[in-house]
Amino acid sequence: MLRLKRLGQLASKHIETDYKTLCIGIHYMNTKTGYIEPPSRRTYAIILMLIGSTVISFSGLVIRNIDAADNWQINFYRSLAFGIVISTILLLRYGRSAPQKLKVIGFGGACAAILLAFASISFLQAITNTTVAATTFTLSSIPFLTAALAWFFLGERIGKYTVFTMLAAAFGIALMFIQGLGSGSVYGNFMAFLCAMGFSGYAIIIRHNRGLEMLPTLIFSNLIIMFLALILCRDNMMLSLNDLILCFVLGGLLSATVNTLFVAASKHLLAAELTLFMLLEFTLGPIWVWIFVNEVPTSWTLIGGSVVIIAVLFKSGLEILKGNP
């Protein structure tokens, strides 16, 4: 009887594995065993990051279509929609026990929320006080900063292919914005660097606490941003219907999607790898504006963007083919 029960368990597990493989539509041949195997957890995480980075890359296109809302108004309503979606996800996942998850994140989660809010606010200051080129190039340092912090605090060491991809992506970003790198204010450039540091610190904490449910950190982060936005523009919170809808799309769809997938992928990818995939946002953004708004990018933007996309997809393909658990 015990043997039959064990066989039943193995059969059930095998059917479940085959179902997951069929659903995702990706499988690979294990060169050691010769068997077709389902995707690894890292493969799933890479796919999540590729999807998330592609989704958030539409944010520039959405912001371009906002008519009159200022930066703090956008941040308030974006954060409001963002918080509603994340709260809904937690309620659907945990039901009545969802409020208890807000306590589980502890001191580390609180620090992560503060760092993410700090990064968002610093980005706002950077983009309004220096050039887009200077801001974007500075933010391309995030994977390098994250790799250094992850090595120091978490003991994570990245492989040579990841280093190659990081260098190639940084080179591509430099090519994209080469014409505007020499301009911009010192204050704006410093804010961009603080944004990079804040997001790198956030990624380190999320990765360190990967065994916990860290989605509540997103709620706390957005509450911080909303509180500051209310202080700074409490007398001017009215928006047109068009701007309000776009702010909700920006927060409730784009930002909520990428941040939820980021937290999920952090359980299986190194901190530096997580932030590396986010560079696709800077690359794909100008392409969507070109397609939908007919704002033609420069030749350098297309060349540099191609370098970034090829480097990231090359890294992703290698990881998927390796199929590491």
C-alpha span between 36 and 63 (Å, rounded): 45
Question: How many Cβ atoms are within 10 Å of 81's Cβ, its own excluded?
Answer: 23
Structure tokens that stand for 10 in this block = 């193995």
Return the percentage of the chain with pLDDT > 90, whole number.
48
| Closest to 250 in 3D by CA, of 66, 67, 127 | 66
Which has the closest alpha carbon to 226: 103, 79, 105, 84? Answer: 79
pLDDT at 203 over 70: yes
Residue 29 lies in a domain: no
* Dist. CA 53–CA 271, nearest whole Å: 15
- Which residues, 6 or more positions from 176, have their beta carbon under 8 angstroms from its beta carbon? 133, 136, 282, 283, 286, 300, 301, 303, 304, 305, 308
pLDDT single digits (tens) 287-307: 888 888 888 888 888 899 999
**Domain with 278 in it:** 40-322
Question: Is 28 part of any domain?
Answer: no
The highest-confidence range among 20-29, 66-75, 81-90, by mean pLDDT, is 81-90
Sign, Cα dihedral of 181, 187, 201, 156: positive
Confidence class of residue 60 from pLDDT cuts 50, 70 and 90? confident
| CB burial string 121-132: b at 16+ within 10 A, e below | bbbbbbbebbbb
The pLDDT score that the predictor gives to residue 22 is 35
User: Does 12 map to a domain?
Assistant: no
Phi, psi of 28 (to 5 degrees): -145, 160
Q: pLDDT tens across 117-174, in order?
A: 999 888 878 877 877 777 888 888 999 999 999 999 999 998 888 999 999 998 998 8
Residue 211 covered by a domain: yes
Q: Is residue 6 part of a domain?
A: no
Mean pLDDT of the chain: 84
User: How sure is the predictor about 23, in pLDDT bands with cuts at 50, 70 and 90?
Assistant: very low
Among candidate residues 282, 221, 271, the one with its CA nearest the CA of residue 54? 282
Indicate the pLDDT class of residue 182, thresholds 50, 70 and 90: low
SS3 37: strand
Tell me the C-alpha distance between 227 and 245, whole Å: 21
**219-260 pLDDT, tens per residue?**
999 999 999 999 988 778 889 999 999 999 999 999 999 999
In a domain, 2, yes or no: no
82 has pLDDT over 90: yes
Q: Where is pLDDT greater, at 104 or 239?
A: 239
Number of domains in the chain: 1
Q: DSSP secondary structure string, 63-99?
A: HHT--S--HHHHHHHHHHHHHHHHHHHHHHHHGGGHH
**3-class SS at 319?**
helix
Question: DSSP 3-state helix, strand, coil percentages of the chain (rounded to 5)?
Answer: 80, 0, 20
Q: Is residue 135 part of a domain?
A: yes
323 pLDDT band, cuts 50/70/90, is low
**Sequence-distant (≥ 6) Cβ neighbours of residue 154 within 8 angstroms:** 204, 207, 208, 271
User: Which residue's entry shows tokens 């700090």?
Assistant: 118
- Is residue 93 domain-resident? yes
283 touches 176 (CB < 8 A): yes
CA distances from 82 to 21, 120, 155, 169, 199 (A): 32, 13, 33, 29, 18
